Amino acid sequence: MSDKRDNRVLITGINGFTGAHLEHYLMAKGFDVYGTVINTPVNSRHFQCDITQAEQIDSIIAQVRPDYLIHIAAISFPGEKNASLIYDVNVIGSENILKALLDHAIKPKKVILASSAIVYGNQGEAVLDENMCPKPVNHYGCSKLAMEHISANYFDAFDIIITRPFNYTGVGQEKHFLIPKIVSHFRERKKEIELGNLDVAREFNDIDYIVDIYHKLLICEAKSIAVNLSSNHPVKLLDVIHMMNEIAGYTIEVKVNPLFVRENEIPSLSGSTDLLASLIDLKNNKTLRKTLQTMYHAP
């Protein structure tokens, strides 16, 4: 373990899509980065841990004694069928982390807990902001909202920020997510792809934008707050296809699968950045086209 102090950060789920990018980014910023993984660790800074097992995360918290903590380990796929697992990981696992900090009298400078924009549910509005009453419609959203409520009980003990990320993507994201699915079809030169409603517009932010926000939230003064991780820049799915046609140099045939089309789907949906921009210097220098190009040409 490094002797560095005051900048030791623990990232749960460090080997996931977000965690891997966040680890690289924070190390480049001079942080002493450690993390938990669910499988066999690949280096001495990673610790195998099932956060649903209190004694496992307790041991790691006691060993690392983090100056900062970013909790992103979760069941992050809304289509997960095992409802019990979703709640065990996203709610109980999150509280196990906070309890471990409390039990060992460790007070990080900042604790960031990743929730999801899915907690908003169907608001009937094009732009979602933090003043809206959450109305989740599936177990994933309900578990994240439950995590937010449980975590609020620890606001007096720790400087906590809860983040509600909207869609983001980049190199390394699993193919069952929408943008990687589209890009992989083009990389494999497939002739057709099945999608849902092509006219809906959603945010598709770049992972670099997201990890930059996490870093800035880590060192800002805000606490006891839930905030969108968003850009308020929705893009139509059809425009994503057009961009990929140009990047790949051929036109893919798009077939609309009725199973992928949701009833009463809001045409455009994005997250307000007003609160986020009041907390940090918000910069987004990477266009979706650039993100798609990076993913398409990735090794």
Asked whether residue 4 carries a pLDDT value surpassing 90, the answer given is no
* Distance from chain centroid for Cα 221: 21
Sign of the four-CA dihedral 89, 48, 96, 217: negative
For the stretch 102-144, pLDDT in tens is 999 999 999 999 999 999 998 989 999 999 999 998 899 999 9
Confidence of residue 281 (pLDDT cuts 50, 70, 90): very high
Q: Percent of the chain having pLDDT more than 90?
A: 87
* Of the candidates 277, 289, 273, the residue with the CA atom closest to the CA atom of residue 241: 289
Confidence label for 90 from pLDDT (cuts 50, 70 and 90): very high
May I ask the CATH architecture of the domain 8-169+205-231+271-286? Answer: 3-Layer(aba) Sandwich (3.40)
- Which of 215, 216, 202, 221 minimizes the C-alpha distance to 268? 202
pLDDT reported for residue 211: 97
On average, the pLDDT of the chain sits at 94
Tell me the pTM: 0.94
pLDDT score of 5 more than 70: no
pLDDT of the residue at 3: 44
CATH 3.40.50.720 location in the chain: 8-169+205-231+271-286
Looking at the chain, the domain(s) classified CATH 3.90.25.10 span: 178-201+234-268+290-297
Beta strands in 40-96 (DSSP E): 46-48, 68-71
Instruction: Sort residue 55 into left (φ over 0), alpha (ψ -120 to 50) or beta.
Output: alpha
Give residue 77's pLDDT. Answer: 65
Give the HSE-up count for residue 229: Cα atoms under 13 Å, Cβ half-sphere: 29
CATH of domain 178-201+234-268+290-297: 3.90.25.10
Residue 1 confidence (pLDDT): 45
- Summarised one tens digit per residue, pLDDT across range 137-191 is 889 999 999 999 999 999 999 999 999 999 999 999 999 899 999 999 999 999 9
